[in-house]
Structures are given as C-alpha cells and as structure tokens.
Amino acid sequence: MPAFWINMGPQHPMTHGLWNMKVQVDGETITDARPELGYLHRGVEKISEVREFQKVIVLTDRLCYVSSITWSHAYCLAVEKMMGVEVPERGQWFRVISLELQRIASHLMWLAAYGPDLGLLTALLWSLRERELFLDLIQLMSGMRMNQNYPRIGGVRNDLPENFDAMCKRSIAHFLRKLEKEYEPLLHESKVFQMRTVGVGKISAAEAINWGVTGPNLRACGVDVDVRRLDPYETYEDVDFEVQTWKGPDAGDSYSRFICRFREMRESCSIILQALEKMPKSGAYRAKPPRRGEGEGYARTEDSRGEALFYVCGDGDDRPYRVKIRSPIFCTMAATPIMLRGNKLADVVAILGSIDVCVGEMDK
C-alpha cells in the first residue's frame, strides 16, 4: 500500500497558529511525520537591520504575543553584552519580576490551549480567568496587557507603581490557592486526562539533547538543566528556586511535559515573592546606553518555551548589522517526528499541544 499522508494544518484547530504537520499513517498508527513551517515568516531578522537598536524591541515584542517581555529581554541582554552596558541592580530585579509574571501568563495561555485540545473546556475558561490576574499585574508594571515594549537596552522603561507589592502578593496568594484547590484536582488527578497523556509522545533524554529540545520539554525527559541556573543572568543567582525536572517513570511523555510546565508556575510565584522582598526600594532602574554599537553580543535566556538565544552583530552604526534569533520551538519542532512515530493518529493533538507551539517565534 502506498504511503498515506494526512495534512494536519495549516487550518487545523490543533495547530494554534499557521503551520502544517504532515503525518504518514498506516491504519491508525503514525509511521512518519514532517512539519512544514514558514506560513508566518515576517522577516524579523531582516527588518531589524534597518532599525535603530532601540526600535528593534517593537519587533521582538511581536515574536510571540504571549511571551513578549521574555523575547525583548533576551534581545536587550544580547545588545547590552555587545555594548558593555551594565544594568542597575533595581532594574535587574524589575526584569526578573516581569519575566516571571510573563512566564506564568504564557504557561496559563498554554494550559488554556491544551485543555480544549483534549476536550477539557474548563481548563480554557479557568486558566484564561487566572491569566487576567497576571495581565493586570503586567499592565500595572508596563502600561500594556500585550506587546508591552517594557525592557530597554540598559534597564526597563519605567518605575514600579506605588502599591505594586501589595497587589502582586494578593494576586499570587489567590492564584496559589486556585492551583491547589481547583487545578490539581481537575488535571493531575483526572483519570481521563492521564489516559490521554501518560506514555504518549515519548522522547528519550539523549535524543532530546541531540535534537536541541530545550526548556520544560527537555526537563520532562529528566535532564536537570535550566539556563536561569546554568548561566545566571540578571539577579537569578540571588533567588532560590527549584528547577522542575520530571523524576518519575515514563520520562519524556506528554504527561511529564504537562507536569513540568505546571509546576514551573508555582516556582515562578515563589521567585516573584522573593524578588519583591530582596529588591532595593529606591535607586536607578535604567542606565543610558550608547547610541552606536560595535562587535558581537550573545545572550541566552530561559524563555517560557526553552532556550532563547540572540546573537547580535554591530558594525559601529546605530543599527544592528545582523540579528540572529534562536527560537526554542523551532528546534523542538525538528524533534516532533520522533515523538509522533508509533503513536495513534488521535494522539497527535495530545502530543503537539504539550510542547507549547508558538508559531510567531518559530517562523520569525
């Protein structure tokens, strides 16, 4: 029998954006898969080359609309390394807080997408409801709900509002209560949820490393790596947090990826609370960067989806000469055929939902 290919996408509810997963099936079993990317390619790297350093932040914000701050921050960090700009300590703490708020908001958005993938509409409604709390906090910090344009080369745009501490603590306490009382009984302990995800979409740790899978997807394979701890940037050295790694059996399946992401939200809450205590109450939060830059800068950060890497070259002009973006999900996508092979067609949704696809950053 000739190979039978099914196009899942570009207009498929599973894709969460525009991309195409071609799946080869033998009956119900997947024998091969081939992702097709590029439907959302906007040429961010090329457009960056004609904009001044500061104006590129507008573009990097739009790389991924659910995780804008983390992307702009990675870009700013790379440019700071190139220009040799030192961020004041208070600005670094602001960044840590905003990054973790953004991470929680991003993970909640993923949960809101993953629930309906498996037929669990409650997860959509609940996590979007809780995401509002964090969007409100981000709005307090930066003035925007989305595409915040908040990090600056040399610091952040503005100071915290006066009563931010209290509001942040109140929201986080509320959220932690919800996690324990509502989310865990709904998802972790649900037999149906486990039947759909446990043992599905497996990838081994060695293969995951070799294929460049990073972030929560790699930690789900039992590899204890987090760039926040491996190569600490900003003030992550001064906060205590536990890297969420899957330690049980069935490492690298959809359920372990779900658990790692889910637990990261709790860790992020703890990081934010520590940062609120430890950050200085007054002082500068932004250094003035030079207008022009020369040389090359490189920075890697732990984005919500994995390792984000920016490589920026300057030729002494006020614009970057070359900006290279390493998108974690672009690399994870290369490994999806391994996760899919041997599973049933009905599990494609349960597998691809669990890796948290964001097409904006994947296609750049």
Partner 1 sequence: MSASTPPVGPVIGRPVAGIEQEVLAHLRQRFGAKLVDAKVVRPLVAEVAIDRADLLAVCQYLKEALAFEHLGCISAVDWKDHYESVYHVENYYNGCVVQVNARIPHDDPKIASVCGLWNAANYHEREAWDLMGIVYEGHPNLERILLPKDFKFFPLRKDFPQEVDRQYISRRKLRGGK
Report the interface residues with partner 1, using CB under 8 A. 37-38, 41, 43, 45-47, 49-51, 81, 207, 209-212, 214, 223-226, 229-232, 243, 298, 300, 307, 309, 311, 313, 321-322, 324, 326, 330-331, 333-335, 363-364
* Nearest approach, Cβ of residue 132 and partner 1 (Å): 34
* Nearest approach, Cβ of residue 38 and partner 1 (Å): 4
Cβ-contact 236, 97 below 8 angstroms: no
Closest to partner 1 by CB, 88 or 212: 212
Cβ-contact 60, 44 below 8 angstroms: yes
Closest to partner 1 by CB, 92 or 171: 92
- Helical H runs in the chain? 44-48, 56-61, 68-83, 89-117, 121-142, 164-178, 184-186, 191-197, 205-210, 216-219, 227-230, 254-278, 328-340, 348-354, 359-363
Torsion of CA 308, 92, 270, 219, to 10 degrees: 20
Closest to partner 1 by CB, 65 or 311: 311
Cβ-contact 84, 78 below 8 angstroms: no
* Nearest approach, Cβ of residue 112 and partner 1 (Å): 28
* Nearest approach, Cβ of residue 313 and partner 1 (Å): 6
Tell how far CA 269 is from the center of its chain.
16
Closest to partner 1 by CB, 87 or 138: 87
Closest to partner 1 by CB, 37 or 168: 37
Phi, psi of 199 (to 5 degrees): 75, 10
* Beta-ladder partners of 5: 24
Closest to partner 1 by CB, 133 or 333: 333
* Nearest approach, Cβ of residue 169 and partner 1 (Å): 30
Closest to partner 1 by CB, 77 or 111: 77
* Nearest approach, Cβ of residue 3 and partner 1 (Å): 17
Cβ-contact 87, 351 below 8 angstroms: no
Phi, psi of 292 (to 5 degrees): -115, 155
- Where do we find the tokens 């390493």? 326
E strand or H helix at 326, and its extent?
A: strand 320-326
* Nearest approach, Cβ of residue 223 and partner 1 (Å): 5
